């Protein structure tokens, strides 16, 4: 068997983001729409909390799974009455800890796909085997409980779900969640749900997996301050898990990470105590971007666009024109627009556009994409020039 470091692939999205940054630093006019990073200012309350912590020299270690006051603030904000709360340096370490503590070598984790690029590698890092279940385009790629169940074997340990979904922007509503929960209960599987985009649901209210009490004794919920409070670089994530799982995750984090950043804890705790006006403003801005960008992209003959219900990504079908990786490479080289190929999310033929720039940059990107298609593909059916 290959050593683990030779089995795990680097993050495609982070690599493309770095490539776009390097081109821009070299003087290229690049519109980088690869990374899912909120481009708006973090709340002033968070900035003041960091400043206060620095002035008071509160920059030392905190407990491995976070400070008690921060845990209490998370519990109150999220409404997590059951289970144990853990704090870590972003959502990724918590997801890694959950998978590592639930899986042994050869154990399987079911991944509804398209899925976030790090999920399969997270499973491989734990020695497990990712089992991809691809959703149907006609259902917005929302995977049904029946489709999941067909892939379950005696080695399955957990389902890892992102809701809302990166990269498609689809939202699993109550009915779809209930189906998945029923499968987990029937087959004695844990359910790990990454809800980092829960603040970005544009039509109707977000329904958390926590709203289903029957699954709470096998539910690991993960969220973070990165998206909801524009604190991506501060690396502050939080999770709720059953006590036995939380204990194992805490032990893992104590060795793998040490502890969360103390000043980031203070910034997030300040954000948790705010009213909902910041979040509503953020959601309104991103909803407006989505709507205006979809209208602009609809001028591209042959481009198949699905308006996303959540997150801040557009999932675009380019399969009639080109291989998705080739499409993205040509678009960056010829028009200076950086997007992410769907292959990075286990779904070739599509591309992901992160609308995490101001509307003027987004509309310019749409104009460049239109020019690129018209110059490189002779018609909407995909005949390449």
For residue range 48-93, what is the model confidence (pLDDT) as tens digits?
999 999 999 999 999 999 999 999 999 999 999 999 999 999 999 9
380 part of a folded domain? no
117 part of a folded domain? yes
Shared domain check, 249 and 121: yes
Shared domain check, 302 and 247: no
The CATH number assigned to the domain holding 306 equals 3.90.1150.10
Tokens standing for residue 334 = 């010829």
Which among 272, 298, 325 is the end of a domain?
Answer: 272
**What is the C-alpha to C-alpha distance for residues 167 and 152, in angstroms, rounded to an integer?**
24
Shared domain check, 286 and 264: no
Shared domain check, 128 and 268: yes
- Count the domains in the chain: 2
Least confident of 44-53, 164-173, 338-347, 370-379: 370-379
Q: How confident is the model at residue 27 (pLDDT cuts 50, 70, 90)?
A: confident
**What is the C-alpha to C-alpha distance for residues 212 and 306, in angstroms, rounded to an integer?**
29
Which among 272, 299, 327 is the end of a domain?
Answer: 272
Q: Identify any residues that bridge with 340 across adjacent strands, giving them in sequence order.
A: 352
Q: Which of 309, 177, 65 is nearest to 74 (CA)?
A: 65
Peptide bond into 114 cis (omega under 30): yes
**Is the Cβ–Cβ distance between 155 and 108 less than 8 Å?**
yes
DSSP string, 343-362: GGGT-TTEEEEE--S-HHHH
Least confident of 97-101, 195-199, 305-309: 305-309
- Which DSSP letter does residue 275 get? -
Shared domain check, 281 and 211: no
pLDDT for the residue numbered 10: 66
385 part of a folded domain? no
Largest Cα span, the chain:
64
312 part of a folded domain? yes
pLDDT above 90 covers a percentage of the chain that reads 88
CA torsion 136-139-144-150 (nearest 10°) is -20
Shared domain check, 344 and 239: no
pLDDT for the residue numbered 379: 58
Shared domain check, 177 and 63: yes
**Is the Cβ–Cβ distance between 116 and 315 less than 8 Å?**
no
**Is the Cβ–Cβ distance between 342 and 377 less than 8 Å?**
no
Q: Which residues 6+ apart lie within 8 Å of 49 measured at CB?
A: 266, 267, 269, 270
383 part of a folded domain? no
Shared domain check, 349 and 263: no
**Is the Cβ–Cβ distance between 85 and 74 less than 8 Å?**
yes
Write the CA distances from 189 to 107, 156, 157, 309, 378, integer angstroms: 12, 7, 5, 28, 50
Q: What number is the average pLDDT over the span 137-154?
A: 95
pLDDT for the residue numbered 384: 45
Q: How confident is the model at residue 3 (pLDDT cuts 50, 70, 90)?
A: low
What's the burial of 149, exposed, middle or buried (CB within 10 Å: 0-12/13-18/19+)? middle
Write the CA distances from 89 to 64, 101, 181, 224, 228, integer angstroms: 10, 18, 28, 9, 15
SS3 for 296? helix
53 part of a folded domain? no
pLDDT for the residue numbered 296: 97
Shared domain check, 334 and 215: no
**What is the C-alpha to C-alpha distance for residues 267 and 282, in angstroms, rounded to an integer?**
18
**Model confidence at 385: pLDDT above 60:** no
**Model confidence at 341: pLDDT above 60:** yes
303 part of a folded domain? yes
CA torsion 335-337-338-339 (nearest 10°) is -110
Shared domain check, 182 and 216: yes
Shared domain check, 289 and 266: no
Query: Domain of 121?
Result: 58-272
Q: How many residues does the chain have?
A: 385
**Model confidence at 211: pLDDT above 90:** yes
**Model confidence at 5: pLDDT above 60:** no
**Predicted TM-score (pTM) of this structure:** 0.94
The CATH number assigned to the domain holding 176 equals 3.40.640.10
Shared domain check, 324 and 258: no
**Model confidence at 383: pLDDT above 90:** no
Which among 272, 292, 320 is the end of a domain?
Answer: 272
Q: Which residues 6+ apart lie within 8 Å of 162 measured at CB?
A: 112, 115, 116, 119, 193, 194, 196, 197
340 part of a folded domain? yes
């Amino acid at each position: 068997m290959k050593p683990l470091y030779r089995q795990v692939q680097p993050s495609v999205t982070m690599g493309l983001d770095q490539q776009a940054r390097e081109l821009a630093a070299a003087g290229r006019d690049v519109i980088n729409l690869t990374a899912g990073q909120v481009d708006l200012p973090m709340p002033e309350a968070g900035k003041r909390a960091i400043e206060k912590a620095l002035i008071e020299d509160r920059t030392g270690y905190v407990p491995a799974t976070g400070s008690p006051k921060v845990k209490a603030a998370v519990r109150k904000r999220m409404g997590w009455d059951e289970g144990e709360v853990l704090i870590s340096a972003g959502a990724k370490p918590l997801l890694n800890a959950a998978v590592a503590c639930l899986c042994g070598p050869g154990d399987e984790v079911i991944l509804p796909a398209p899925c976030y690029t790090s999920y399969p590698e997270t499973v491989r890092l734990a020695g497990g085997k990712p089992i991809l279940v691809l959703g149907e385009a006609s259902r917005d790629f929302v995977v049904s409980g029946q489709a999941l169940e067909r892939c379950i074997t005696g080695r399955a340990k957990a389902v890892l779900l992102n809701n809302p979904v990166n990269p498609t922007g689809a939202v699993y509503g109550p009915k779809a969640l209930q189906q998945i929960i029923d499968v987990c209960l029937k087959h004695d599987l844990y359910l790990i749900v990454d809800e980092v985009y829960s603040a970005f649901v544009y039509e109707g209210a977000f329904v958390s997996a926590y709203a289903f009490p029957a699954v709470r004794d096998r539910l690991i919920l993960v969220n973070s301050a990165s998206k909801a409070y524009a604190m991506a670089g501060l690396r502050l994530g939080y999770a709720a898990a059953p006590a036995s799982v939380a204990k194992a995750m805490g032990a893992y984090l104590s060795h793998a990470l040490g502890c969360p950043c103390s000043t980031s804890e203070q910034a997030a705790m300040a954000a948790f105590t705010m009213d909902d006006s910041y979040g509503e403003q953020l959601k309104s801005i991103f909803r407006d971007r989505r709507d205006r960008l979809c209208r602009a992209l609809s001028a591209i003959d042959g481009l198949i666009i699905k308006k996303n219900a959540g997150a801040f990504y557009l999932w675009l079908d380019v399969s009639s024109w080109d291989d998705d990786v080739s499409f993205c490479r040509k678009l960056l080289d010829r028009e200076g627009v950086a997007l992410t190929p769907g292959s990075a999310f286990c779904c070739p033929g599509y591309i992901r556009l992160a609308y995490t720039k101001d509307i003027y940059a987004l509309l310019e990107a749409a104009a460049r994409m239109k020019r690129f298609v018209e110059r490189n593909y002779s018609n909407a059916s995909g005949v390449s020039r």
